[in-house]
Chain A
């Protein structure tokens, strides 16, 4: 495995052009952690079922534990670390804190990223849409009721923010 060929990929990470040397078996999570010291996306189930590794690739949420790093050539990648401006959290992050939408916090970056994608697609989601959209994210502490509340609050506040 350590003899496998290394490829250099170029892509945009959190708004900056970057390059990374990756092997064919490296997934997105491993690359982000070992080459860019970004630990917000993290592997848990390793099967794309829990959503802890969610990152946005060209605006679409992907499971970073299944998505191979080499596929990122030319892509635009956004991780949870990019949401907050200095001193100012994203409305999704604020809502998660206000609603108590996490306990241990391990799954939280994944939920935050998926919520970001959700309200991008459905600016005013109802309960059913929220449950469907977030059904691929698991929270063993089961903060689900609070997460639903946080998504709604985030949607409201994002709208208010975007219309000034």
Chain B
């Protein structure tokens, strides 16, 4: 695809964020802070058991609390929405529990009151009785079918490749994705070396500092929902489906998001707020506390068994991947993570024979969805640890071993799709150069040992998806952009304005970006998976180009001489006799895509590949197991940066977030109950966790089919960090950790085990 050859001077500008003024003065809007006249506050009463049949819910005491407006349960919801189940892949999640509860923290009843304190107090007066059922928590155990989370699978009609699962019974497997390339069994039989390892990741969560919030204002002729949502178009479609309404009676308004990271995708509180507003016939606000995020959405814990066969020369000739994704009680987007990330489970290596089985599992835990990487960080954790272990076992340099096996442009990825515009080798080389990899490294001799490590990764952007944008030039020449991409901190409003400015030759600062409102902003699949800059970027570019063409038409129509640059305002005045009229350009973008066949193969799996890696230098205190990262390097292929400063902060921020997931973040769960559901007990990275030296680099590349040569960046620096640190720990002290997080305790236990003095369990 050819992109516009214009030069408004806006691409490559490190323009500060357009909304900066509102954010530093405390004036930026967030749903969690919004109020509507006559609004009721909702507080949720949640399940205390992981799996059980609801015997009774006694709300009588709660109703008697002075100031309570109403108390509702799943039975009440059914009086206004007959089939109150939602979800992007499966219609499996009830608005309030019906019949059964499937995880601790599942919403069972709601109290409404004008005073949120009253609602909170009353919710504590509700008493539920359950007949407890056996529960399953581990993803590998769940695959064995002994305890069933759901009686029957209920795939949504949205995805053709899930239809065969409709009505399936007796299983916890929500999706089994398979890929078969070549003949792995034969290749393993012929291999000179075979390595097999097992890796696990823990349950962590997004924890945006603005917790989830939705306000629904239901009227008989329409509903308006204000929500902290990453995908307003999806919310509109799904609420319209639940209500049996056309989409144009459902309006979703999304101000800025106080962080999202994947946690505010699809339906979260919107359906519950709508049902409550329908029942109460008043606007209803649900604003979560921080604790409630732990019962809403998380990242998939995984188990990944990976096996590689190598020939005499050290070439990887076969790789077998089995990945179990712990999706929790409701599928959310798990089946998509399982497939769309699953097909890159063999990593950025050129391997003739690949077998991948990727399973989305139901368990009795808080549901899991996408978290900054759409499953990729879990996969990279395994395949880049595994790759390093093989190199070390064969006494090969980890860099040379990777380069020998690296997947390069022009070669087929496991799906068969030919790789294009991927600077994998460049990224790897730049990390190695920054680490001075070929120079000797002082590992220390005393209590504190030093090590270094790196990892590199490949991701395919999710496909196929659609974005639509509108560019509106007003009669004074000022320009407005309507697009549904949600700015949750990634700087999309600024980047999109830069693209409009580039085409229309005006400063990005002068372009108004309209806040998301489905009555006004057109369709977008969702702000997720680093897709927006590419997909919405193209739509915005096309819309601006159409407006530009219409301006040129108007100049001709008015008899302006060729090359005239009469101000736009003059053109409108000449045409309409006064300051009147508009020029409207629209753009729709949907890339080509070929769905995978029964073996997971396709010649067009994705419109673009993402490439990134990390390198670290660390110190390990051998007396305590404490690991200190002294230097953190992130290198990525983002195509041509639209806004280099924002790209840098995205890389830096993503890697520091992943540092938490790598080093200490973990939801502790006992019998299905989260035991550290607060920021006091669940630590996230702070100032003191920032390594003393951080380097971020976007290598010099150009995405040939990208808007202005650009592609996505938001997730990239999460990919390689965890295995880079584990590889560095091995380099420093010779122990290998295969389970995240890499806590001092786990390092110390491994050191003791290595010295044949293992510690006991407690």
Contact = CB atoms under 8 A, between A and B. Distances in A.
9 contacts: A3-B66, A45-B679, A47-B290, A81-B27, A98-B16, A104-B488, A107-B258, A143-B649, A143-B653
B118 A2 contact: yes
A35 B488 CA distance: 28
B676 to A, nearest CB: 13
A11 interface: no
Among A44, A98, A109, A137, the most chain B Cβ lie within 10 Å of the Cβ of A44
A19 interface: no
B69 interface: no
A100 interface: yes
Contacts of B258: 44, 104-107
B114 to A, nearest CB: 9
A126 B686 CA distance: 17
A100 B24 contact: no
Nearest to B652: A145
B101 interface: no
Interface of A: 1-3, 25, 33, 38-42, 44-47, 49-50, 52, 79-81, 83-84, 89, 92-93, 96-98, 100, 102-109, 112, 130-132, 134-135, 137-148
Contacts of B121: 1
Given A100-B646, A141-B489, A141-B653, A135 B686 contact: yes
Contacts of B680: 45, 47, 49
Contacts of B23: 102, 105, 108
A92 B23 CA distance: 13
Nearest to B29: A39
Given A40-B25, A50-B679, A93-B25, A1 B115 contact: yes
Nearest to B680: A47
A84 B532 CA distance: 34
Given A100-B17, A142-B653, 19 more contacts: A1-B121, A2-B117, A44-B210, A47-B678, A50-B209, A81-B26, A103-B489, A105-B489, A106-B30, A106-B258, A107-B209, A112-B24, A137-B686, A140-B261, A142-B656, A144-B690, A145-B690, A145-B694, A148-B687
B152 interface: no
A49 B24 contact: no
A158 B577 CA distance: 51
A72 B447 CA distance: 51
Given A2-B67, A141-B653, A105 B256 contact: yes
B64 interface: no
A138 B26 contact: no
B33 interface: yes
A140 B17 contact: no
B679 A47 contact: yes
Interface in B13-52: 16-17, 19-28, 30, 32-33
B256 A144 contact: no
B685 A106 contact: no
Interface in B648-677: 649, 652-654, 656-657
Interface of B: 16-17, 19-28, 30, 32-33, 66-67, 115, 117-118, 121, 206-211, 256-261, 289-290, 488-491, 645-646, 649, 652-654, 656-657, 678-680, 684-688, 690, 694
A68 B234 CA distance: 41
A97 B17 contact: yes
A148 B687 CA distance: 9
**B interface SS class:** loop
A134 to B, nearest CB: 5
Which 3 residue pairs across A and B have the least CB separation, nearest first? A40-B26, A106-B258, A103-B489
A46 to B, nearest CB: 6
Contacts of B66: 2-3
Contacts of A139: 209
Contacts of B679: 45, 47, 49-50, 138
B210 A104 contact: yes
A67 B211 CA distance: 21
A145 B691 CA distance: 9
A79 B21 contact: no
A161 B255 CA distance: 35
Contacts of B488: 104
Given A93-B25, A135-B686, A145-B652, A39 B257 contact: no
A103 B491 contact: yes
A4 to B, nearest CB: 9
Nearest to B657: A142
Nearest to A97: B20
B259 A106 contact: yes
Nearest to A127: B692
B211 A2 contact: no
B20 A106 contact: no
A38 B490 CA distance: 26
A138 B208 CA distance: 10
Among B19, B206, B653, B687, the most chain A Cβ lie within 10 Å of the Cβ of B687
A1 B656 contact: no
B259 A141 contact: yes
B229 to A, nearest CB: 14
Contacts of A39: 26-27, 33
A100 B26 contact: no
Contacts of A109: 24-26
A157 to B, nearest CB: 14
Nearest to A39: B33
A88 B646 CA distance: 24
A92 B686 CA distance: 20
Contacts of B27: 39-40, 81
Given A1-B117, A105-B489, A144 B209 contact: no
Contact of A138 (B256, B491, B684): B684
A84 to B, nearest CB: 6
Contacts of A46: 289-290
Contacts of B260: 104
Contacts of A81: 25-27
A80 B19 CA distance: 16
B377 to A, nearest CB: 15
A142 B653 CA distance: 5
A31 B117 CA distance: 13
A106 B24 contact: no
Contacts of B22: 105
A92 B25 CA distance: 10
B678 A142 contact: no
A44 B209 contact: yes
Contacts of B652: 142-143, 145-146
Nearest to B287: A43
A36 B488 CA distance: 27
A104 B208 contact: yes
A39 B261 CA distance: 23
B207 A105 contact: no
A139 to B, nearest CB: 8
Contact of B688 (A49, A135, A146): A135
A80 B21 contact: no
B685 A142 contact: yes
Given A93-B25, A142-B657, A1 B118 contact: yes
Nearest to B210: A106
A104 B657 CA distance: 14
Contacts of A130: 687
Contacts of A96: 20, 24
Contacts of A38: 26
